[in-house]
Each structure stands twice: as structure tokens, then as C-alpha cells.
Structure 1
Amino acid sequence: MPSADRKHLKLRHNTWYFQKRVPKALKHQFPDRDIIEQSLETGDIREAREKRDIILGQLRQREHLLKVQSQPRQRFLSYVEKLSKIVVDEPFVGSDMEWHEILDPETAKKTNDPEYIEAFKTVMRGARESDKYGTTLKEVLDHFVQISERDELHTEGTRGRFKKTVVLFLRYLNVDDLQMKDIERSKVFDFIDHSREKVSGATVQGHISRLKNLWDYAYTRAWVSADNPFEKHKINTTKGRQKKQPFTTKELSMLLDVMKRQPHSMQLLTHLGLYTGARISELVGLRLSDLKEEEGVWMMGIAVQDDGKTDAATRWIPVPELCHGDMKQSLVKAREVGAEHLFHDLISIRPDGRYAYAATKRFGEIKRQHVTERQDKGFHSFRVMMATALQQANVSELEAAYLLGHSRKGLTMSYGYYSKGYDPGRLLSAQRKAVGVIDQWLKG
């Protein structure tokens, strides 16, 4: 092994430490940490490597176990197959003893294995399927693709689009797979709402059409019996992405009132969105290291450590003064649990590496339940409102563009402070004016 092999190893005060970012699959097992850190209790690099490799092996085992546990349908079918074969080949497994007397869950010591118990019950009644472990979306997709290839029903490109759609839908739900019977119309609505933030209506319509076809495919084979949850969704396909509309004063007041009953982090996230116009992904991605004081102004770095949506998205803006108290409270909590991110309790790791999907989903649920079901109103509405407030406050277009992370191409660059990117005092002054306009809206 090369002497330079120090991956996941850190030397502190002559003691080696294991340090690794929490694997995405294990994130829920480490809810308050972004980094796994453990003293290896040795100063010997060779011993440290051995202990590191053991820990890495243990983590891999945990990931593998979770993967198997996340596929109960396959475990159930495997048990059904094995038990059914025994019923046919060896109905009597001993002297006048039938198979079920030996292989019942208690005798087989499987009382803690729900898939085995259900498989045993299923085979006992002469069946091979159970509503408890019904057909899954991936299973339908695989069967659909196999038949399509065998009978040459679609092009390879079409089959690829079906696969991509299923991946996107499951990724949005943050699951590896799910039973067809568990797909609810409300989940489809959320997926459409989420997708319209990113792609055109025609693209979303294509995804929903393919998912509808998969449901119909399962229905014709009696794998599902319920109404198709992908039907009768109205999606505007005549325009590009759906333009977000601002909340009315009444809607905004209702939303802020509801947020008072939500966790502290959701309250802060909402107020930061309202008073900065920052995107929800930008805010949820804030790290403690993205906060600093400069020239007496408390600043926060937006998309300074990750690639922003655009080059202009990377910016330093003032922390709204109305949010200082809540921000400090969140900072204390984050430091207490050793978190890297300010909104550590809202972060959710997805296969595509995005942090904000759970926060976006939660905000959308609150909005629909308590304020409005309109799809053209969401967290991005705050961005529209902040832009309007900056305009009504007569803030210069250049300052407004910088605060919002909009492209400044074509705007005059005569402002001297842009030679370094920003001037904290002037940005704070501009932000105060916009916040004042928003507060006037709320006062009616």
C-alpha cells in the first residue's frame, strides 16, 4: 500500500482520526451530522489504515443491508418461490409431517421476518401474490421494457425515456421503488408542481403520459385495480416554464401566520426567502462558513461553495436585519450538533445531490393546505415579490440585480463598488428599502 495513502485519515495531536462525509444512503442514521468522525486511538499510520478499512467495510455492510431492506417486495417473492417449490416437490418433509408444520414462521425462527411471514400465509392459501407486497413501479417498468423489446413495440429511445421518467419520479419521492397501490394522486400533483419549476409544460406532460401508460399496462394485467392517478392532470404546454406569481397581501399574511406554528428552521427559511428573494436551494445550501461580518454588516454567501444556477447567482448579500435573532438561534443549534449547514434539519440528500427537495415539498404542502392551491404560487413567489419591492423602492437596477443574483450583463458598471463585487453598506441600504416596502404591504 502506498505510504501516501491517507484517505479519510486526519492526524491531530499525534492521534489518527477517521473522517468521511456521511454516505447519502445512511444520512437518516446520522441526522445531526454531515461528517462521520472517529478517533482511531493510534499514532501508527499502518494501524490507522487497518482500522479505517474496517470502518469502511462496516459502512458498506450497512449500506448493503439498507438496500436489501428497501426491497421487501423482492424478499417476499423470493420466499414465495422457495416455499411454493417445496409444496410441489416435497409436501411431506418428514414422517407424516407436512411442510407447513416445519416451515411455519415460529418453527423456522422467522417470527421477526415480515416478508417470510406474509409469504408463508400467501402460499398456505394457495396464492403467489399479496396486497401487502404488491407490484412495484420498477417491476412494471421492467416488464414493460422486456415486452417492448421482444415484440419491437417501441424504439430504444422511447424505452429510454420511460426509464428516465421513472427514475425522476422515484427520485422526487426519495425512494428506490414503491408499490403501485401507494402512488397517490396528491403525490403526482406534487411531482408536476415541482417539475414545472424546472422544465417546460410539454416535458412534464411527457413524463405524466409515460407514467399513465405504465399504470394502464399494469391495469390490463390485473396488477392494479384503482383509478389511474396520472389521468386528468391539466398541464399548460403552450408556454415554457410556468411563471410564478406573487402572493397577495392576504395570502402572505396567512402564510406567515401559519409559519408561526412550524419548526423554527421553516420560519427562518420563509423569512429569508421573503426578505432576500433567494432561491430555496440557495438558502437550504447555506453553510456556517457562508456567514461573515464585513464593514459592520452581517453578510451571507449565496452559492459561494457550489455552482450557482448562473455565474451571477454567486454573491454576498446582507442578512436581513429582521432575521438576525432567528439566524443567531439557528447558528447556535447547528454548532451544538456539529452540523456544517445552517438548515441541517431541513437538508435531505437525494441521488442527484440536491439538498432542498424536502424543504420545497414541505413548503408546498403548507401553502396548499393553508393558503392557496395555485401551482403558479410557491417559494419562488418571494423572489418575484422582492424584485417588485426593490423596484418600488427605487433601488438601482444594478444593485437589485446583484442582490437577486440576476445577470448584470448589459447594465452600466460605473458603480465603483462593483470593482470588488459589492459594497456591504450600500447593499444593506438597498435591502432595507425593499424590506420597508414589503412591510408596508403587510400593514395594508
Structure 2
Amino acid sequence: MNDRKHLKLRHNTWYFQKRVPKALKPLYPDRDIIEQSLETGDIREAREKRDILLGQLRQRERLLKVQEQPRQRFLQYVDQLSQVAGDRFVGPGVTWDEVLDPESVGRATDPEYVEAFKAVSQGKSESEKYGVTLKEVLDYFIRNSEREQLHTEGTRSRFKKTVTAFLRYLNNSDIQMSRIERSRVFDFIEHCREKLSGSTVQGHLSRLKTLWDYAYARAWVSADNPFEKHKINTTKGRQKKQPFTETELRQLMAAMERQPFSMQLLTRMGLYTGARISELVSLRLHDFKEEDGILLMGIASHEDGKTEAATRWIPVPKPCLLQVEKLRTGAADADSEYLFYDLVSIRPDGRLAYLATKRFGEIKRKHATERQDKGFHSFRVMMATALQQGDVSELVAAYLLGHSRKGLTMSYGYYSKGYDAKKLQEAQDRAIAVIDEMLTEKSDQAVTQLEQVEAM
């Protein structure tokens, strides 16, 4: 075995050498390399001493993380205070809490110390305010798995990737287990189903459920597992979105009338164009142009569409023209480049439609349906059906929706330069007429039902 990692022989003496880890830079401000004599010329003894030093460095990294994370700071204070509290006094006639209360030690503005003092005073070692976090549970789970050899390295890696995916969706670096709500898990599932197969999503949920059960078994959490009892179709790949029924659509649109202007317009444009919510929220003010007196909008014109076919110029639906102009003015006044300036989410993961998707999902579940296979993407299905019922050619329909046109008749030969604006407007108008039929019938009844629900 020729294991000489981090070892260097100099004048018959082995030295430990390792680049300073990024997390430990504050401890070594003027050094790039950690070097220490191991005081031995025996390679086996040098390896043993090296492993001890590596373990010490890892421990230091963990301690630094403790200082950076509120919960870990809280636990550190609890440990320190508990040691003193075990004696109940620090001198004749003086108890520990009289000397170490936040005011006396100048930590009244340190929230972790204040909470730790309160907890230890009550004989506790935990606090709901600084409950166990998802990453902390994962860390304990992985270490236990490695120690007991319960899983393969591949399985442990999948657990880490699942936690990373869930936290990235939440846009958090970590989250307390007690703050994970079932509704957020539901939203996570719907988000994943847009891109992942049912079996992949099920795998994510299964691993998150396992972590919750692990925490529950150790009394770190007491609530029901928010990751269980979710039904996911794993046999047919991605879950296909279903159209709203006429009743559901009327109730949804009636509910939208009570929402902010931009949310109303986003929903109506989705219904009348079949565009993806990410495509609409990504619209910028310069994504509009006029051709033959028709206002067109550039969907995925920045080459960030889901597919190459997604990039297209389509008419702004006639029922939305005035509202679009109003919102364009509002966006310009707000000095924003985005049309839906008050719905755009600026996030590290680049998901501009995060907030809009979340709001739409909440409104849909409250006023229309809780079915997971119905969402904003259902408008896309409905628009495709409306185009078909309006006798629009398959090629034009595919262009309007941004579907791939491979395999369709190629004799037309004009979609490299797009379609005539008037032809697109005519096709869109036909589909809108079909959709409006669904909305106009019994619309008053839908509003009445909505008012009854909100009054309950």
C-alpha cells in the first residue's frame, strides 16, 4: 500500500502537509498550507498521526459551522450552561442563574443565548424556536449509516442530492424540521412532476420520509410525517396534466377576479395562449412588436425555452390587449424589464416563476380543485383542444403552442420564418371563442358558489 496523501518525507522525517480548507481560512489568515512535523521516520506511524490530524481539522470545521448556524450556537450555549447548572451554584449562596443570566453577562441581545438560558432554567435541552434542522438530521443519518454500514455510498449520495433539491426548491440553505409544511411538500411534488418521472419524484419523497422517521424515532420531531400519503403515478412516466372541467374553470376564473391585477392577467393569458407559466413570467418589455397592426409577444425569445420549438412570436390575445398595455406602462414606471414585474422571483436557481406558480397553486386548490394533475399547465391542454375544435391546422396549432413540429407535414415550408401574423390571430381567435363558451355559461353561478365558500 503506497498511501502518502498529505505526507512529505524530509531528512528522514515525515511531515503533514495540506492546503488550508476554505472553512478554516479564518484560523489561518496568513497561510495557504498547513504543515506540521510528525516526528517520525516510520511511514505507518506517520499515517496514523496524519489521520488524527485530519480528524482534528474536520472537528474544527464543524465547530466553525456551529458558530455560523443559529441552532448550533443555541446548542453550544445549552451545553455550556448545563454544565454549570449541574452544580446549581457558583459560590456560597449564589446560584448559577443569578450569575449567568443574559443581562449579567452582557448577552441580552444574543437571541441564541437568551433562548438557551430560558431552556436550561426550565430543565430542557431543546427549544421549538431552534428546533432540529433538515441538514442536521441528514448529517446524523449519514454518519449512522456509515458507522453501521447500513447503506451503499450511492444510496447515501442520493439522500444528500434529495435534501439539496428540496432546499433549493424552498430557496433556503436549511430549514427546521418542524417548519416543513405538508402544503410545501405538495408544491415540491408538483414542481418536480414538470421535469421528472413519477418514480424519480417518489424516490425523493421516500428519502425525505425516511429522514423524518429517523428524526421522529429520536424524539426530535413529534408531528405527523408531511412526506407520506402522497399519491404519485409511477407507471406512466411524467404525470400528464388534465384539463379543468367547465365548473372548475369558472370557479377558478371567478376567484382570480379577486386577485391582484397582474395575477388576473397572467392567468387569462395562460388560458388564451396555452403558454407555460415560466414563459409568461419571463416576458420582458422588449419582447413585444407590432406586425400588420397586430401586437405580437416573443415567447422564449431569449433562447431559454424548454425546447427549440418553444421560441415563437404569437399574438397578444385580444381580450388581454388593454390589460397588457396597462401592465407594460406599470412595469416601465417601476423601472423593471419584466412585464409581470411584481410576480417575478429573483432567485439563485433562476426560477423566475416561483412566486407566481406558488400563488396560482394556492388559489387553484382553495377555489377549484386539489387534484395534482390539474394546474397552470392544464390551460395548455385546454388551448390545444380548443384549437382542434376551432378547426385550426395542426401545424399552426403546434407553432402557437411551441410544440415540436417534427413528423408533421413539411409541405408548407414556412415555419423557419414563422407564420403570417393575421393567420396566427385568426387561429387564436377561433380557440378563444371555444374557451369563452366554457366561461360564459353559468358564470354567475360560479361566482355565487365562490362567495358561499368564502363565507364558510
What is the TM-score normalised by the length of structure 2? Answer: 0.77
Closer, same or farther in 2 for the Cα pair 1:396/1:116, shift >3 Å?
A: same
Between structure 1 and structure 2, the one with the greater Rg is 2
The aligned residue for residue 181 of structure 2 is 184
State how far apart, in whole Å, the 1-side matches of 2:397 and 2:208 are. 42
Post-superposition offset of 1:163: 1.0
The aligned residue for residue 111 of structure 2 is 114
| Range moving further from structure 2, 412-421 or 388-397 | 412-421
State how far apart, in whole Å, the 2-side matches of 1:70 and 1:332 are. 44
Letter in 1 for 2:339: L
State how far apart, in whole Å, the 2-side matches of 1:380 and 1:69 are. 45
Give SS of 1:360's match.
helix
State how far apart, in whole Å, the 2-side matches of 1:385 and 1:280 are. 14
Give SS of 2:188's match.
helix
Closer, same or farther in 2 for the Cα pair 1:100/1:323, shift >3 Å?
A: same
State how far apart, in whole Å, the 2-side matches of 1:331 and 1:396 are. 32
Closer, same or farther in 2 for the Cα pair 1:91/1:314, shift >3 Å?
A: farther
Deviations 1:19-56 (A, max 9, x none): xxxxxxxxxxxxxxxxxxxxxxxxxxxxxxxxxxxxxx
State how far apart, in whole Å, the 2-side matches of 1:405 and 1:437 are. 20
State how far apart, in whole Å, the 2-side matches of 1:439 and 1:242 are. 27
Aligned with 2:120 (options 115, 119, 123) = 123
Post-superposition offset of 1:112: 3.5
Deviations 1:226-255 (A, max 9, x none): 222222222221211111111111111111
Q: How many residues align?
A: 377
Aligned with 1:429 (options 419, 426, 430) = 426
Closer, same or farther in 2 for the Cα pair 1:397/1:160, shift >3 Å?
A: same
The aligned residue for residue 261 of structure 1 is 258
The aligned residue for residue 415 of structure 1 is 412
Post-superposition offset of 1:97: 5.3
Letter in 2 for 1:77: L
Give SS of 2:415's match.
helix
Give SS of 1:418's match.
coil
Closer, same or farther in 2 for the Cα pair 1:443/1:144, shift >3 Å?
A: same
State how far apart, in whole Å, the 2-side matches of 1:69 and 1:297 are. 60
Q: How does 1:242-253 map to 2 (within 5 A)?
A: 242-253=239-250
Letter in 1 for 2:294: V
Aligned with 2:78 (options 77, 80, 83) = 80
| Range moving further from structure 2, 230-239 or 313-322 | 230-239
Deviations 1:236-287 (A, max 9, x none): 2121111111111111111111001011111011011000000011111111
Q: Is the 8 A contact 1:105 1:117 kept in 2?
A: yes
Structure of higher RCO (CA pairs closer than 8 Å, 6+ residues apart): 1
Unaligned runs of 5+ in 2: 1-64, 442-456
State how far apart, in whole Å, the 1-side matches of 2:299 and 2:246 are. 27
The runs of 4+ residues in structure 1 deviating greater than 4 Å are 67-71, 85-91, 94-99
State how far apart, in whole Å, the 1-side matches of 2:108 and 2:232 are. 48
Aligned with 1:387 (options 368, 384, 387) = 384
Question: Identity of paired residues, percent?
Answer: 69
Q: Is the 8 A contact 1:70 1:176 kept in 2?
A: no
Closer, same or farther in 2 for the Cα pair 1:180/1:419, shift >3 Å?
A: closer
State how far apart, in whole Å, the 2-side matches of 1:166 and 1:428 are. 46
Post-superposition offset of 1:106: 2.7
Unaligned runs of 5+ in 1: 1-66
State how far apart, in whole Å, the 2-side matches of 1:301 and 1:69 are. 49
| 2:147 is equivalent to residue 150 of structure 1 | yes
Letter in 1 for 2:422: G
Deviations 1:121-175 (A, max 9, x none): 1122343211221111111001101111122211111011111111222222222
State how far apart, in whole Å, the 1-side matches of 2:321 and 2:182 are. 40
Post-superposition offset of 1:414: 3.7
Letter in 1 for 2:387: L
| 2:315 is equivalent to residue 322 of structure 1 | no
State how far apart, in whole Å, the 2-side matches of 1:419 and 1:212 are. 49
Closer, same or farther in 2 for the Cα pair 1:83/1:312, shift >3 Å?
A: same
Deviations 1:158-210 (A, max 9, x none): 01111111122222222222221222223222222332222222111111111
What is the TM-score normalised by the length of structure 1? Answer: 0.79
State how far apart, in whole Å, the 1-side matches of 2:203 and 2:354 are. 22
The aligned residue for residue 282 of structure 2 is 285
Deviations 1:350-374 (A, max 9, x none): 4422111221121111111111111
Closer, same or farther in 2 for the Cα pair 1:350/1:162, shift >3 Å?
A: farther
Deviations 1:62-110 (A, max 9, x none): xxxxx99994323322332443455569963x88655533432233443
State how far apart, in whole Å, the 1-side matches of 2:68 and 2:402 are. 40
State how far apart, in whole Å, the 2-side matches of 1:243 and 1:192 are. 14
Q: How does 1:176-325 map to 2 (within 5 A)?
A: 176-325=173-322
Post-superposition offset of 1:302: 0.9
